[in-house]
Amino acid sequence: MKDRFISEAEGLVNSRVIGYDQKVRRLAALAANALPYPALSPLCQEALEARVVCDMYEGNRPFTPRYVLPDYAKALRNGVKYLELEPPSNLDDALSFLTILYSQVPSVTTYPVYLGDLDALLEPYVPADLPDDELDAKLRRFWIQLDRLLPDAFTHANVGPADGRVIRSIWRVERSLRQVVPNLTLKVSPETPDDLIEDAVRTVFVTAKPHFVNHPMMVADHGTEYAAVSCYNSLKVRGGAHTLVRLNLKRAVDRHLGGVDAFCLESLPHWVELTSELGEARIRSLVEDAGFFESNFLATEGLIELDRFSMMFGIFGLAECVNELMVREGQPEARYGHDPRANAAAHQIVGRIAELIKDRRLPYCNGGGGFAYLHSQSGIDLDLDATAGTRIPIGDEPSMLEHIEVCAPIHQLFPAGISDIFHVEETVTRNPRAMVDVIRGALGAGMRDFTFNLDSNEFIRITGYLVRKSDLLGLDEHGARHSSDYLAATAEVNHTVTTRAIKRVIAAELSPQG
Amino acid sequence: MAELIEAPTTGLVTDVIEFSAVDGPGNRFVVFLQGCNFDCLACHNPYTIKACIDCGICIEACAAGALSLDAEAKMVWDQAACTGTDGCIAACPYDSTPKARPQAVASLLPQIRRAAPFISGVTVSGGEATQQSGFVRALFAAVKAEFVNLTCFVDSNGAAEPSVWQELDEVMDAAMIDLKCLDDEIHRRITGASNAQVLASIKALAARGKLYEVRLLLMVGVNDSDELLAATGRWLAAIDPKMRIKVIGYRAHGVRPSPVPLIEPDAAQRAHYAEVLAAEGQFDLVVI
């Protein structure tokens, strides 16, 4: 153990491929992993080692919540004592204020996963007489800072659902810069103008961003103060998620003997309990042992509130789980995403998990009313045998309309986020309104998130985050500036992420981290 | 409606596409109708030109065994058994397909209903949709009756009698017309027919405010001379100087062997076409 620690640390220190900044972060992770894991029951311990349940490799001893969503509006209003920041009075000061604050927002990657609802935050600071080109220049400078200071594709900004000068400027800046950071989500409500969605669609054509989320559905689950962060994680602002633990449904089914009903009745309660136990141990360690909420300035200054946190309960490998159960039911031809029997089984399984989660109280999870949030976890780079979340396996997706029809009904069961990726042909770039139609339809049909990519795009979506194809070339030799690129390289090798079935009108994604 | 026209509620349908981004404004449900009154050298789906004559030649070409002749010696296509290799279409010597089938408006409506929340409208294409104008009218009337927000478009070669446009007027929002060539002699050479009706259709539709766009399919050395394009631009500008014109560079994909060489214009040539046209009007030009 000690020898391994030394050799890994030596490897990092002497690496010619990893940059200084990433060496520091990885050495810190190595140190946290040298500490003993929070106490687990032998059954939970075994399930974790066999990776039936998984802690996302967050580290042995949590000292920060995984996802922190500071109330940036409150910070701008009141200032931040810890950082000796007064409330800003103009746009330049506001941008500077936020940039400084971001540097102190923790997460398991060390980079902030939420940058705020930037259009709403910044709009009040934009003077009416500021010309568009000057606004663009300011935001462009800010955007470059974000990408260079926070080089992590999980760093995520939200915009919408209303139109405004800042959101329009953000689209222009995005298209001109073509950066990986920040990840972007547009909140879409029935009142969001078509023209604004179309502008966002044109931005996707260039940068594979933003995602489109169902604003009314999110508000119903989380209230008006919510955001989509990291990749497809929807949580309360001024709150967040302590941790993300996930259940590999493929491996759960491998340890089960019967069919669908028996799996729901006998196996799922067992695995949901072990996943919850793992989460609870990590939450107690963070809140009670590390005392994060007692000491961190975000908590002490009221920019986050423990009562708005919960835990994310992720599931993945639903496709393999269902397909295997259908074999056992004597219906091997019934495949998930294609056959009503398989799709019904999938609904039954997810419905059962949602029910079990609502039966398992967790400490310090008042954000979710005392329970975990269900999340369709979109994979990590090491997942080899299981499809991301509740997605249809890559390359096996049906036509776009059928794909939407299969996915939409389960989206409502995942308040903490779910994603299905659609890959569209490049011809749609001449008719962006066609994508507006599809997005409206998909959200209206009950999808929580709609994400599409162009098959020709320089950007590829791994499991929810973006990398540039050109950044993956030669990664082994010269390293990469964005820490997420390393995950992406593994995912690209481990998955057939670039072979998703191409739809005539629509998009796709690639493989890790939730 | 002024008078009730008895419209056939069944059409010979080649295929439908639930979602299309290339057949008019927004996302559209497209119905392709079998049969065309032109025989274009550059046709990229020549299997839509003629109706099947039940000769049975394609049966042996089908490895999946999805084709047969029934007791009345009519072609039968088993959609469930079809693997979609289109071996039948490749084997057909008559520019047809055994997969085109009569379909009733009532059988298309459920498919449109399913797609309705995701589309801007319905487009009929072909083949030549106006050859089955009665069916198109019945289909559009049914769509309009049920879905007030959906638009109904016709994608046409323009070779239709004025009475056809009159018949469709109440239920059709707009048409997209191909103008293969302004010069009638060249038009006859590349389509097998005169352009007189096409030119009349463009004028008539524009006058009704129902011309969505005119499409020019250009082949190098055949219908792409500067002189011809300038004349075309002038003729179109006289009708509507702000007309939406789609300049489409010929592509060989799917096209039958041609007696005259057909050459694809490159990107620079396509850009040049647009420049020549732009000199004649304030067109809304789209170049593909």
- Whether residue A511 is predicted with pLDDT greater than 60 in this model: the reply is no
| Closest Cβ opposite residue B118 in set A427, A430, A441 | A441
Q: What percent of chain A has pLDDT over 70?
A: 88
- Whether residue A151 is predicted with pLDDT greater than 70 in this model: the reply is yes
Q: Do A437 and B20 touch (CB under 8 A)?
A: no
Q: Do A440 and B119 touch (CB under 8 A)?
A: no
CA of A404 to nearest chain B CA: how many angstroms apart? 10
- Cβ atoms < 10 Å from Cβ of A429: 18
- Whether residue B215 is predicted with pLDDT greater than 80 in this model: the reply is yes
- Whether residue A463 is predicted with pLDDT greater than 80 in this model: the reply is no
pLDDT digits (tens, 9 = 90+) for B168-203: 999 999 999 999 999 999 999 999 999 999 999 999
CA B41 to chain centre: 15
Establish how many alpha carbons lie within 13 A of residue A437's alpha carbon, considering only the half-sphere containing its beta carbon: 30
Q: How many CB pairs under 8 A join A and B?
A: 66
The pLDDT value given to residue A487? 57
Q: Do A427 and B22 touch (CB under 8 A)?
A: yes
Mutation site, A431, A433, A455, interface B, largest B CB count within 10 A: A431
- Cβ atoms < 10 Å from Cβ of A44: 19
Residues of chain B in contact with residue A424, where contact means CB-CB under 8 angstroms, are 21
Mutation site, B118, B123, B149, B245, interface A, largest A CB count within 10 A: B118
| Closest Cβ opposite residue A401 in set B25, B26, B118 | B118
Q: What strands lie across the sheet with B101-104, from one edge to the other?
A: B101-104, B10-20, B28-33, B121-126, B151-156, B174-178, B211-218, B244-249, B284-287
Mean pLDDT of the region B17-23: 94
Mutation site, A397, A401, A404, A425, interface B, largest B CB count within 10 A: A401
Q: Do B19 and A435 touch (CB under 8 A)?
A: no
- Whether residue A192 is predicted with pLDDT greater than 90 in this model: the reply is yes
CA of A186 to nearest chain B CA: how many angstroms apart? 19
CA of B249 to nearest chain A CA: how many angstroms apart? 14
pLDDT digits (tens, 9 = 90+) for A420-453: 889 898 889 999 999 999 999 999 999 999 999 8
Q: Which of B203, B201, B250 is nearest to B224 (CA)?
A: B250
- Cβ atoms < 10 Å from Cβ of B253: 7
Residues of chain A in contact with residue B119, where contact means CB-CB under 8 angstroms, are 437, 441
The pLDDT value given to residue B214? 98
Collapsing DSSP to helix, strand or coil, B176 comes out as strand
CA A492 to chain centre: 18
Confidence band, pLDDT 50/70/90 cuts, at residue B216: very high
- Whether residue A489 is predicted with pLDDT greater than 60 in this model: the reply is no
Collapsing DSSP to helix, strand or coil, A468 comes out as strand
The pLDDT value given to residue A514? 35
pLDDT digits (tens, 9 = 90+) for A240-251: 999 999 999 999
DSSP per residue over B103-163, as a string?
EEHHHHHHHHHHHGGG-SEEEEEES-GGGGHHHHHHHHHHHHHH-TT-EEEEEE-S---HH
The residue of chain A with its CA nearest to that of B23 is A431
Residues of chain B in contact with residue A399, where contact means CB-CB under 8 angstroms, are 18-19
Q: Which own/partner contact pairs does A489-494 have at CB distance under 8 Å and 24+ positions apart? A: A489/A381, A490/A381, A490/A382, A491/A379, A491/A380, A491/A381, A491/A462, A491/A463, A492/A460, A492/A462, A494/A381, A494/A382, A494/A383, A494/A384
Q: Given 3-state DSSP classes, what are the helix, strand and coil percentages for chain B, each rounded to the nearest 5?
A: 35, 20, 45
The pLDDT value given to residue A319? 95
The pLDDT value given to residue B272? 97
Residue found under tokens 């949901």: A272
Average pLDDT of chain B is 94
Residues of chain A in contact with residue B274, where contact means CB-CB under 8 angstroms, are none
The pLDDT value given to residue B125? 96
Two structure tokens written together for B220: 């190098």
B285 and chain A in contact, CB less than 8 A: no
- Whether residue B2 is predicted with pLDDT greater than 80 in this model: the reply is no
| Closest Cβ opposite residue A505 in set B19, B25, B286 | B19
Confidence band, pLDDT 50/70/90 cuts, at residue B275: very high
Residues of chain A in contact with residue B114, where contact means CB-CB under 8 angstroms, are 401, 405
| Closest Cβ opposite residue B118 in set A424, A428, A438 | A438
CA of B19 to nearest chain A CA: how many angstroms apart? 6
The pLDDT value given to residue A491? 52
* Inter-helix orientation angle A165-177/A194-207, to 10°: 20
The pLDDT value given to residue B77? 93
The pLDDT value given to residue A496? 44
- Residue A457 is which amino acid? N
Q: Do B19 and A503 touch (CB under 8 A)?
A: yes
Cross-strand bridge partners of residue B247 = B216, B287
Residue B88: which H helix or E strand, with range? helix B87-91
Distance CA A121, CA A98 (A): 10
Answer whether the bond into residue A337 is a cis peptide, omega within 30°.
no
Mean pLDDT of the region A359-383: 90
Residue B28: which H helix or E strand, with range? strand B28-33
Strands A239-248 and A67-69: antiparallel
The pLDDT value given to residue A335? 94
Q: By mean pLDDT, which of A272-281, A478-487, B92-101 is the weakest?
A: A478-487
- Cβ atoms < 10 Å from Cβ of B209: 9
- Contacts of residue A180, defined as CB under 8 A and 6 or more positions apart, other chains included, come to A147, A151, A153, A459, A465, A466, A467, A468, A471, A482, A484
Residues of chain B in contact with residue A441, where contact means CB-CB under 8 angstroms, are 27, 117-119
Backbone angles phi, psi at A439, to 5 degrees: -65, -45
Q: Which of B228, B149, B147, B138 is nearest to B190 (CA)?
A: B228
Residues 4-63 of B with CB under 8 A from A: 17-22, 25-28
Q: Do B117 and A404 touch (CB under 8 A)?
A: no
* Model pTM above 0.95: no
Confidence band, pLDDT 50/70/90 cuts, at residue A471: low
CA A454 to chain centre: 20
> What's the complex ipTM?
0.91
The residue of chain A with its CA nearest to that of B285 is A430
The pLDDT value given to residue A474? 58
- Is residue A328 a contact partner of residue A258, using CB atoms and an 8 Å limit? yes
Q: By mean pLDDT, which of A25-29, A158-162, B213-217, B236-240 is the weakest?
A: A25-29
Distance CA B285, CA B214 (A): 10
Collapsing DSSP to helix, strand or coil, B277 comes out as helix
Answer whether the bond into residue A210 is a cis peptide, omega within 30°.
yes
Q: Do B25 and A401 touch (CB under 8 A)?
A: no
Distance CA A276, CA A269 (A): 10
Q: Do B26 and A433 touch (CB under 8 A)?
A: yes
Q: Do A434 and B288 touch (CB under 8 A)?
A: no
Using CA atoms, how far residue A76 sits from A70, A94, A124, A181, B146, in Å, is 11, 7, 11, 22, 51
- Is residue A463 a contact partner of residue A510, using CB atoms and an 8 Å limit? yes
Q: Do B27 and A400 touch (CB under 8 A)?
A: no
Q: Do B26 and A400 touch (CB under 8 A)?
A: no
Strands A239-248 and A53-54: antiparallel
Mutation site, B16, B17, B19, interface A, largest A CB count within 10 A: B19
DSSP per residue over B38-56, as a string?
---TT-S-GGGSS------
- Whether residue A214 is predicted with pLDDT greater than 90 in this model: the reply is yes
Residues of chain A in contact with residue B115, where contact means CB-CB under 8 angstroms, are 401
The residue of chain B with its CA nearest to that of A445 is B117
Q: Which domains does chain B have, with CATH numbers?
A: 10-47+101-287 (3.20.20.70), 52-94 (3.30.70.20)
Q: Do B26 and A430 touch (CB under 8 A)?
A: no
Residue found under tokens 């289109």: B86
The structural domains of chain A, with segments of one domain joined by +, span 2-34, 68-203
CA of A7 to nearest chain B CA: how many angstroms apart? 56
| Closest Cβ opposite residue A437 in set B17, B22, B118 | B118
Q: Which of A238, A243, A303, A306 is nearest to A276 (CA)?
A: A243
- Whether residue A269 is predicted with pLDDT greater than 50 in this model: the reply is yes
Distance CA A330, CA B215 (A): 54
Q: Do A437 and B26 touch (CB under 8 A)?
A: yes
Average pLDDT of chain A is 90
Two structure tokens written together for B31: 């119905």
Q: Do B115 and A506 touch (CB under 8 A)?
A: no
pLDDT digits (tens, 9 = 90+) for B32-82: 999 999 999 999 899 999 999 999 999 999 999 999 999 999 999 999 999
The pLDDT value given to residue A495? 47
The residue of chain B with its CA nearest to that of A429 is B21
CA of A175 to nearest chain B CA: how many angstroms apart? 21
- Whether residue A508 is predicted with pLDDT greater than 60 in this model: the reply is no
Cross-strand bridge partners of residue B214 = B177, B245
Confidence band, pLDDT 50/70/90 cuts, at residue A22: confident
| Closest Cβ opposite residue B21 in set A440, A441, A505 | A505
Answer whether the bond into residue A161 is a cis peptide, omega within 30°.
yes
- Is residue A214 a contact partner of residue A221, using CB atoms and an 8 Å limit? no
